[in-house]
Amino acid sequence: MSRVVTYEELASNLASIFEELQAKDETVIVVRDGTPTAVISPMKPDGEKQLTLDELCEELLQADANVEAGRYLEWEEVKRRLAGKLAEDADVG
């Protein structure tokens, strides 16, 4: 989830915006003179990797290429596999 704040709002409320950013795990987009100028994202404390915009674009381009090449699963197959995984997890737990 993203929140948009103006540069002036960020400057006036930096501490509270940072607290919210961490508490809600949201990204803040900073707008100055009507133009988005910065993105502030919380760090993941558990070492989980957060994608950069370039990495996300690359992932999306790869996904598009996979779909065009026919490398995808139909929705019914996804549901079948998830149901099987949930059943396995229930048996283990």
Residues 58, 37 within the same domain: no
The C-alpha angle with vertex 13 and arms to 12 and 16, in degrees rounded to 5, equals 170
pLDDT confidence tier of residue 15, bands split at 50, 70 and 90: very high
Q: Does residue 1 have a pLDDT over 70?
A: no
If you average pLDDT over residues 57-86, what whole number do you get?
88
pLDDT reading at 47 higher than 70: no
Query: What CATH number corresponds to the domain at position 32?
Result: 3.40.1620.10
Residue 43 has pLDDT above 80, yes or no: no
What number is the average pLDDT over the span 16-33? 88
Q: What is the tally of structural domains in the chain?
A: 2
How far, in Å, CA of 23 to CA of 17, rounded? 10
Burial 26-58 (b: 16+ CB within 10 A, else e): eebebbeeeeeeeeeebeeeeeeeeeeeeeeee
> Which residue range(s) make up the domain with 67?
51-93
